[in-house]
Amino acid sequence: MTDLDLLRACQRNDPRAQTALYHRFRGRLMGLCRRYARSRPEAEDMFQEGFIRIFQQLHTIEQPDRLLPWMKRVMVNTAINIYHKNHRLLAETDYDAAQDMGTDDHLDTLARLSADELVLLVQDLPDGYRMVFNLHVVDGFNHPEIAQMLGISEGTSKSQLARARAALKEKLKKLGIVRYEHS
Amino acid sequence: MNTPEDEQAWDDLFRQRLEHYEAEPAADALGRILAGTPKPVRINRRRVAGRVAVSLLLLIGMSWWALNRWPMLPEQPAAVKTSPVGTARKSTLPSGSASSPTTPERSPSSTLVNPDQSVAVNKPSVREREATFPTNNTFSYRSPGKSRQARVAGSVRYRQPATYRGRIRPTDATYPDWDDSSTDLVNVLTEVASVAEPAPLTIGRLQHLGLRLPQMAPPAAPISAQQTHLATSPAVSRRRRSSVYASVMALYSYRRISPNTNDEVYIRQIQSSRTFSSDRIGSRIQIGKEWRLSQRIGLRAGLTYGQLRTSMRYRLRTLPTDSTQVNWVNDQTVRLTPMADRPVAVAGRYHYVGLNTDLIVSLGSGQLWSHYLTAGATVGGYVAPVRRQGAFLQASYGIERPLTSDLWLRIEPSVQYGLNAVSDRRNLCKIRPYTYGLTISFRK
**Domain holding A177: CATH number?**
1.10.10.10
C-alpha span between B57 and B211 (Å, rounded): 37
Q: Using one digit for the tens of pLDDT, what is the confidence trace for B163-174?
A: 444 444 444 444
- For residue A12, being part of any structural domain is answered with yes
Q: Does domain B237-443 have CATH number 1.10.357.10?
A: no
Residue B383 pLDDT: 83
- For residue A7, being part of any structural domain is answered with yes
Note the Cα B240 to chain centre separation in Å. 15
The winner for highest mean pLDDT among A63-77, B6-20, B115-129, B133-147 is: A63-77
Q: Check if B17 contacts A (Cβ < 8 Å).
A: yes
The one-letter code for the residue type at B129 is R
Are the Cβ atoms of B322 and A149 closer than 8 angstroms?
yes
Binned at pLDDT 50, 70 and 90, residue B430 comes out as confident
- Least reliable range by pLDDT among A1-5, B73-77, B265-269: B73-77
Range B399-420 burial, b when 16+ CB lie within 10 A, else e: bbbbeeeeebebbbebebbbee
Note the Cα B345 to chain centre separation in Å. 37
Residue B106 scores a pLDDT above 60: no
Q: Are B420 and B432 in contact (CB under 8 A)?
A: yes
Binned at pLDDT 50, 70 and 90, residue A171 comes out as confident
Q: Check if A28 contacts B (Cβ < 8 Å).
A: yes
Range of the domain at A122: 105-182
C-alpha span between B109 and B98 (Å, rounded): 14
* CB atoms closer than 10 angstroms to residue B325: 12
With pLDDT > 90 as the criterion, what percentage of chain A qualifies? 18
3-state secondary structure chain B: CCCHHHHHHHHHHHHHHHCCCCCCCCCCHHHHHHHHCCCCCCCCHHHHHHHHHHHHHHHHHHHHHHHHHCCCCCCCCHHHHCHHHHHHHHCCCCHHHHCCCCCCCCCHHHCCCCCCCCCCCCCCCCCCCCCCCCCCEEECCCCCCCCHHHHHHCCEEECCCHHHCCCCCHHHHCCCCCCCCHHHHHHHHHHHHHHCCCCCCCHHHHHHCCCCHHHCCCCCCCCCHHHHHHHCCCCCCCCCCEEEEEEEEEEEEEEEEEECCCCCEEEEEEEECCCCCHHHEEEEEEEEEEEECCCCEEEEEEEEEEEEEEEEEEEEEECCCCCEEEEECCCCCEEEEECCCEEEEEEEEEEEEEEEEEEEEEEEECCCCEEEEEEEEEEEEEEECCCEEEEEEEEEEEEEEECCCCCEEEEEEEEEEECCCEECCCCCEEEEEEEEEEEEEEEC
Greatest CA separation for chain A = 58
- For residue A93, being part of any structural domain is answered with no
Q: Using one digit for the tens of pLDDT, what is the confidence trace for A32-58?
A: 999 999 888 889 989 999 988 888 888
Q: A-B interface: how many C-beta pairs under 8 angstroms?
A: 134
Binned at pLDDT 50, 70 and 90, residue B28 comes out as confident
Q: Which of A57, A86, A115 is the last residue of a domain?
A: A86
3-state secondary structure chain A: CCHHHHHHHHHCCCHHHHHHHHHHHHHHHHHHHHHHCCCHHHHHHHHHHHHHHHHHHHHHCCCHHHHHHHHHHHHHHHHHHHHHHHCCCCCCCCCCCCCCCCCCHHHHHHHHCCHHHHHHHHHCCCHHHHHHHHHHHHCCCCHHHHHHHHCCCHHHHHHHHHHHHHHHHHHHHHHHHHHHHHC
Nearest in space to B259 (alpha carbons), one of B433, B428, B432, B38:
B428
Q: Which of A25, A58, A86 is the last residue of a domain?
A: A86
Nearest in space to B357 (alpha carbons), one of B400, B298, B285:
B298
Same domain, yes or no: A60 and A128: no
Burial of B34 per CB tally in 10 Å (0-12, 13-18, 19+): middle
Nearest in space to B326 (alpha carbons), one of B261, B260, B384, B263:
B263
Q: Which of A59, A86, A113 is the last residue of a domain?
A: A86
Q: Check if B318 contacts A (Cβ < 8 Å).
A: no
Same domain, yes or no: A114 and A81: no
Binned at pLDDT 50, 70 and 90, residue B177 comes out as very low
Q: Which residue did the predictor score with more confidence, B393 or A112? A: B393
Residue B307 scores a pLDDT above 70: yes
Q: Check if A103 contacts B (Cβ < 8 Å).
A: no
Distance from CA of A29 to the nearest CA of B (A): 7
Residue B94 scores a pLDDT above 70: no
Rounded alpha-carbon distances, angstroms, from residue A165 to A31, A42, B2, B17, B311: 20, 23, 11, 15, 50
C-alpha span between A36 and A131 (Å, rounded): 6
Residue A132 pLDDT: 92
C-alpha span between B411 and B416 (Å, rounded): 16
Q: Are B370 and B321 in contact (CB under 8 A)?
A: no
Q: Check if A12 contacts B (Cβ < 8 Å).
A: yes
Same domain, yes or no: A174 and A120: yes
Output the domain CATH number for residue A18. 1.10.1740.10
- For residue A94, being part of any structural domain is answered with no
Rounded alpha-carbon distances, angstroms, from residue B364 to B193, B236, B238, B370, B443: 27, 11, 14, 6, 18
- For residue A96, being part of any structural domain is answered with no
Backbone phi and psi for residue B408, each to the nearest 5 degrees, phi listed first? -115, 145
Residue A170 pLDDT: 83
Same domain, yes or no: A136 and A78: no
Nearest to B34 among A15, A44, A136 (CB): A15
Residue B74 pLDDT: 47
Distance from CA of B345 to the nearest CA of A (A): 21
Q: Are B16 and A118 in contact (CB under 8 A)?
A: no
Residue B385 pLDDT: 77
The one-letter code for the residue type at A58 is L
Nearest to A80 among B36, B37, B322 (CB): B322
Residue A179 pLDDT: 43
Residue B132 pLDDT: 42
C-alpha span between A122 and B21 (Å, rounded): 13
Residue B305 pLDDT: 92
What residues does B299 pair with on adjacent strands? Answer: B291, B359
Residue B254 scores a pLDDT above 70: yes
C-alpha span between A120 and A40 (Å, rounded): 10
Distance from CA of A24 to the nearest CA of B (A): 12
Q: Which residue did the predictor score with more confidence, B214 or B61? A: B61
Nearest to A100 among B2, B21, B39 (CB): B2
Q: How far apart are the first and last CA of chain A?
A: 50
Same domain, yes or no: A48 and A116: no
The one-letter code for the residue type at B339 is M
Binned at pLDDT 50, 70 and 90, residue B43 comes out as low
Question: What residue spans define the domains of chain B?
Answer: 84-95+102-231, 237-443
Same domain, yes or no: A22 and A76: yes
The answer to whether the Cα torsion of A91, A93, A98, A104 is positive or negative is: negative
- For residue A98, being part of any structural domain is answered with no
Residue B335 scores a pLDDT above 90: no
Same domain, yes or no: A131 and A58: no
The winner for highest mean pLDDT among A68-82, A87-101, B59-73, B167-181 is: A68-82
Residue B241 scores a pLDDT above 80: no
Residue B419 scores a pLDDT above 50: yes
Residue A55 pLDDT: 87
Nearest to A22 among B21, B33, B321 (CB): B33
Q: How far apart are the first and last CA of chain B?
A: 91
Residue A106 pLDDT: 61
Binned at pLDDT 50, 70 and 90, residue B125 comes out as very low
* Nearest-by-CA chain A residue for B7: A165
Nearest to A12 among B40, B328, B338 (CB): B40
Same domain, yes or no: A77 and A110: no
Nearest in space to B366 (alpha carbons), one of B401, B336, B338:
B401
Q: Residues in chain A, how many?
A: 183
Q: Using one digit for the tens of pLDDT, what is the confidence trace for B133-152?
A: 444 444 444 444 444 444 44
C-alpha span between B406 and B237 (Å, rounded): 10
Residue B124 scores a pLDDT above 50: no
Tally the domains of chain A.
2
Same domain, yes or no: A55 and A16: yes
- Least reliable range by pLDDT among B184-193, B311-320, B347-356: B184-193
- Mean pLDDT value across chain B: 66
- Least reliable range by pLDDT among B39-48, B104-113, B433-442: B104-113
Q: Using one digit for the tens of pLDDT, what is the confidence trace for B321-334?
A: 556 777 788 877 87
Residue B215 scores a pLDDT above 70: no
With pLDDT > 70 as the criterion, what percentage of chain A qualifies? 83
Residue A38 pLDDT: 85
Rounded alpha-carbon distances, angstroms, from residue B296 to A123, B357, B362: 79, 17, 5
Binned at pLDDT 50, 70 and 90, residue B303 comes out as very high
What residues does B347 pair with on adjacent strands? Answer: B311
